[in-house]
Amino acid sequence: MVMPTSITGVKVEFLEFPAIVTPPASTKSYFLGGAGVRGLDINGEFVKFTGLGVYLEDKAVASLAAKWSGKTPLELFESLDFYRDIIKGPFEKLIRGTKVRTLPGPEYVRKVSENCVAHMKSVGTYGDAEEKAIQKFRDAFKDQYFPPGSTVFYKQSPTGTLGLYFSKDDTIPEHEHTVIENKALSEAVLETMIGEIPVSPALKQSLATRFCEFLKDDNLFIAN
């Protein structure tokens, strides 16, 4: 594999997010756009729950370069359109969410699904199909239990396919646990992480800082 020197891994708490990942039984690799922690303020203390990493196809850089090349990290961070272009971009994304502390699947998906529904309703994309998709999404997590180090992977296609993978560590399983065909939900999952009301400002900052460098070379190519 040829890896541009500008692509490096990121450490979030005790979690290592490598610069490049290649799923099993796949010839396609994804580069790490950014990574950061997700947490909540509980009784005045910031409690960390999950380390989040967003991986993308190499063509994401060329797709974003025309509009965003030359911007500073601060300009990218302050632009919602930049993140929306990542969310809606015509390239695959692989999102990794590895637990920092124990979370039962139903508890985890309750908050994630609430955020997704709230976003879809706010932008007018929530209908009968999305309601069914959310139920399938919730059902996928009902028997899951996530100790520290365990991972949920979300694979997103530009056409709206959302694949869910569950792992006891940070390795990507060979097969999806669940596949959901709903573009609005797929986009909402990433929107809630890095969009207007993000669960991980640290991930947004990481994406802005790293893409400022990536966009200096819009011919980024990951060769296997």
Residue 130 pLDDT level (bands cut at 50, 70, 90): very high
Supply 118's token pair.
């709230």
What the block records as the tokens of 182 is 């709903």
Q: At what angle do helices 201-214 and 80-88 cross, to 10 degrees?
A: 80
- 210 with 63: CB under 8 angstroms? no
- Band of the pLDDT at 142, cuts 50, 70, 90? very high
pTM tops 0.75, yes or no: yes
Active site residues: 38, 50, 99, 108
**196-to-6, 28, 184 alpha-carbon distances in Å:** 28, 30, 16
Give the span between the Cα atoms of 171 and 165, in whole angstroms: 10
pLDDT grade for 221, boundaries at 50, 70 and 90: low
Task: Name, in order, each residue with C-beta under 8 angstroms of 105's C-beta and a sequence gap of 6 or more.
Answer: 141, 142, 143, 144, 145, 146
Cα separation, 205 vs 158, in Å, equals: 24
Determine the Cα–Cα distance for residues 159 and 169; give it in Å rounded to an integer.
28
- Cα–Cα distance, 122 to 21 (Å, whole number): 34
Per-residue tokens: 175: 């097969």
* In the predicted structure, residue 149 carries a pLDDT above the cut 60: yes
Confidence (pLDDT) at 2: 38
Q: What is the pLDDT of residues 83-113, one digit of tens each?
A: 999 999 999 999 999 999 999 999 999 999 9
- 48-79 residue pLDDT tens: 889 999 999 989 999 999 899 999 999 999 99
* pLDDT value at residue 110: 95
- Is 46 within 8 Å of 39 (Cβ atoms)? yes
User: Binning pLDDT at 50, 70 and 90, where does residue 25 land?
Assistant: confident
- Over residues 166-212, the pLDDT tens digits come to 999 999 999 999 999 999 999 999 999 999 999 999 999 999 999 99
DSSP-H helix ranges across the chain: 59-68, 73-77, 80-88, 105-123, 128-141, 183-194, 201-214
